Amino acid sequence: MSAPMPRNRMRLAPPLPQAGTRTGNGNTLLAGIDQRTAGARRYREVYTALLAEVTRLSRQPTPQEELVARRAALLSLWCETAETEMASGISVDINSFTAATNTLRRCLADLGLIDNR
């Protein structure tokens, strides 16, 4: 059994605005890449749609939900690319595709967007 956490533990102060990153302050979703590429635009579309759906469910997304939405958007983009390759006759690692699809499902369930059965 672990020892209880001390009650007088120091709390971290939020970083000053001038010390934040472009991603952290909301200026960019994917730092270091050209935001005009088709992949970056699609990523932004999916991410924005996920956050809009969470907001539509009458709640403001928490920072944790925003992180999950980012992962879900990336997994969605990856799965869409793999589906396009499969439809074109290109071989895709089905284990990776299945793992990505299941992880995407769990992310969507964590966001409250699908029933987690």
Domain ranges, ordered by start, for the chain? 33-110
38 pLDDT higher than 70 = yes
Interatomic CA distance for residues 109 and 31, integer angstroms? 27
Q: What confidence score (pLDDT) does residue 108 get? A: 96
Which pLDDT score, from 0 to 100, does residue 47 have?
95
Residues 6+ apart with CB under 8 A from 97: 79, 82, 86
Confidence of residue 10 (pLDDT cuts 50, 70, 90): low
pLDDT at 105: 96
Residue 102 CA to residue 99 CA, distance in Å, equals 5
Distance CA 31, CA 21 (A): 9
Residue pLDDT, tens place only, 74-110:
999 999 999 999 999 999 999 999 999 999 999 999 9
Q: Which two tokens stand for residue 73?
A: 């958007």
Q: Provide the pLDDT for residue 35.
A: 79
Give the pTM: 0.73
Whether residue 45 contacts residue 30, with contact meaning beta carbons closer than 8 Å, is answered with no
Question: Does the pLDDT of residue 21 top 80, yes or no?
Answer: no
Report the percent of the chain where pLDDT is more than 70: 72
Which residue has better confidence, 83 or 17? Answer: 83
